[in-house]
Structure 1
Amino acid sequence: MSEDAPAWLRRLFAGVALDPALATRALTHASVGEANYERLEFLGDRVLGLAMAEWLYELFPDEPEGILSRRINSLVSGATCAAVGRAIGLSPHIRLAKGAHGSLADSDHVLGDIIESLLGAVYLTGGFEPARAWVRRHWAERVRGEDSVRQHPKAALQDWALARNLGLPVYAEVSESGPDHLPEHTVAVRVGVDTASATASTKREAETGAARALLATLEA
């Protein structure tokens, strides 16, 4: 953890006395060892989902479930969580193993996961209320934006394909490389005779990237 991380955390989570051990773990990448953010990220992902679902239900009382689902999928995505991480200056405070590539600290995957792990730490420290308040503060400018109603690339590609009687998109993992804490997944997607691929640190992100790339080609 960087030297000024405790002060940064106090400013970031004013009013929540985060347990120091939890805070350190929430900022620790898997390259450091077993005491990393992954379990907290698992918990924080669910905390974020509930906080966002509750908020959207309140904000948009007349919207159907389908639109609410689009909104929540966008707002809790790794890219959005990473954008929140960049906005709060998270990268310098991430604990990486010596020798780990510095770009990890600015990757969407790591930034997004650590935002969720911090929410998990807040939940364990103070319960749901401070976690909910933190989400509403840091997602306030995003929750009503147009980006929050755009379809997820995989859903948009599926709709495009079905509308043209081409069947469901077919995803296949082309390759997986790297150590457990620095994986690289390459996934290809096919619709009819058209294909595209993408590489990311998780299979889910690679699928999303492949869908986005193929849509860009099909709609060009």
Structure 2
Amino acid sequence: MNINLMRTKSSIHFFQIKGETRNCIAILHEGQQTEILEQGPSISEEEAKGFKAHLSHLFSKADAIAMSGSLPKGLNSDYYAEIIQLANQQHIPTVLDSSGQSLMDVLLSESKPTVIKPNIDELSQLLQNTVTIDIDSLKEAVTQPIFEGIEWIIVSLGGDGAFAKHHQTFYKVNIPNINVVNPVGSGDSTVAGITSGLIHQDSDKDLLRKANTFGMLNAMESQTGHINVNKFDEIFQQIEVIEV
């Protein structure tokens, strides 16, 4: 993994644990997709503390922090909340893409992330109420008191685009039809676009366009977590962001 990342000229600061990194295998066959997800390692209390210390040392180099996925075994459900608290103390913006109890613990904590990115099903689960793609339903959902203090709420609507709230302004994102080859990793690619938008201080509409462009470009490729930058402008220009 280290060698492959070095080829992309990524700056690598891994924290070593005793357990092995899990494999996530996506099988594509005649337009059908099957995912095989191994069970991940269990993190010890010592490793959990060590990673937070390791991360704290990296804060001086960070313009933003993105956190994505479920927490591995061994970590308390408030682990993301603890990291966000550390980042907020250093005034570093944070993007969180998680669900379930780990997201709930963040929402109930005093330290809020800059951005959360639930999909519509995760939003419904969080609120224990069905949320539809109707604009009024989405507005009502993201203005619930539990989201108070979060600057950006970006809700993925799948093929229907996205809905977003930034401070007190609402946006609907309309996306073009594309040939979906492999959607695995599109959520993480969208998070990368959001994080890039924060770092470069993009306008609201450009941040949302960039985020959705990254996600769509990933879905158009067979390789997971890969985008063809030569197609960026083509997709970016087709995405419509409307204040609603």
Query: What range is the shorter-chain TM-score in?
Result: under 0.3
Q: Which has the higher helix share?
A: 1
Instruction: Give the number of the structure with larger relative contact order, counting CA–CA contacts within 8 Å between residues 6 or more apart.
Output: 1
Q: Which has the higher strand share?
A: 2
TM-score of the aligned structures, taking structure 2 as reference length:
0.23
